[in-house]
Chains A and B, each alone.
Chain A
Amino acid sequence: MKPFTGSLIRPSLLLFFILLPSFAFKAGHPDPVKWILTKECTLKVNGSTNINKFSCIVPEYAQPDTLICYKDNKNGPIKITGSMALDVQKFDCKHAVMTNDLRKTLKAKIYPKIIIKFLNLSKYPDVYNREEAVKGAVTIELAGTVKRFEVDYKYVMNGNGNLKLIGTKQVNFSDFNISPPRKLGGMIKTNNELNVEFVLNVKTLN
């Protein structure tokens, strides 16, 4: 009798231990929401030299990607996984020589991508609130250096249910170990500060 009982208990225990973790995870993490980044996403960089200002833009995001948001509660912070990778070669400063200069400064040949990895948001955008500001953390990988930033976002709910998330952040060339370009023995100098603005056009999938 004894061996027979034992042979029934052991598989049951095994099944219990296999299923236990899946129940545990289900209770702590609600279903994730998928954010599909559409090709209307853009990245704009505004900067200045001692003789002019420049504004360079990656006008569209050719490679749609998905971010996954884990919202634990309605008003609390949410965790995000996913990233967007933009081509440095697609920067356009509306001035051919400045465009080439920016690409060279950002070492486009060695590091062809800018990768923005999304980490969190202070709260999940409220679909009933058409415009609001939130904060969130990202890491930006540029010219081979990865740096974490807190970004201010403004979001707009579009009529079609899509979400437009506009993130702005002031960064420095030096944050990425890049020396701001200087010409003619330093008589023409690019300022270290850059204002980065990225626009995410998001289609939500539950």
Chain B
Amino acid sequence: MNIIVCIKRVPDSESRIVVGSDGRSIDTQGIKFVLNPYDEYAVEEALRLKEAAGAGTVTVMTLGGEESKETLRTALAMGADQAVLLKGEPSGDGLGTAEKLAAAIKEREHDLVLFGKQAIDDDNLQVPAMVAELLGLPCATVVVELKVEGNNVTAEREVEGGYEIVEFELPGVIAAQKDLNEPRYPSLKGIMAAKKKPLEEVDVADAEARLEVIELVKPPERAAGEVVGEGPDAVPELVRKLREEAKVL
């Protein structure tokens, strides 16, 4: 089975994010960048599917700059076979990025295209379903369980208060949610091997943005609250404040 996993380099979730001097992008100084956490589940799932099939290739792909090679190497160290770097700037909205990825995926063999459900920087949750639409493929997003038997895909996706069973035939697109699996850590051997695995570079133009960021701001600080008291004796006063001051009960 030939699987393409689309990944992204993002600031670590523990990072403090500060607006840059242009007021429209972030200050990247001092930020630790990592493989997008949801993409780890996608890479892991691809490796498991390939192992189960006993044949095929796992290709990891990203749209980004030179620094994204490090992210691709992380996925190679986990066990992916080869990497493709589409050299260009992703768009802040999903569509421009989806167009670049879809064009590159189209040129390569793909039974399954995997994504993390969203990147934790722009939080768009757009690109997987957009790529599916652009390629005319079926798709399931926010997937917590995946079964592939022959060409038949059964995916469980998380919805409010339950889940949906999505069924389609390959080729198709899946976007991984956190519960899908337990991603492996790259082994030392894997890290060494990753350095020798093929990493193809393709120059693409910057993605077209359909949205314009007018301004990026820090949300207003919450006014400092009050400690109502200590221990259970403070409870009646808390309940009174919730009813009379905050009026939320």
Q: Tell whether A pairs with B.
A: no
Residues of A within 8 A of B (CB): none
Residues of B within 8 A of A (CB): none
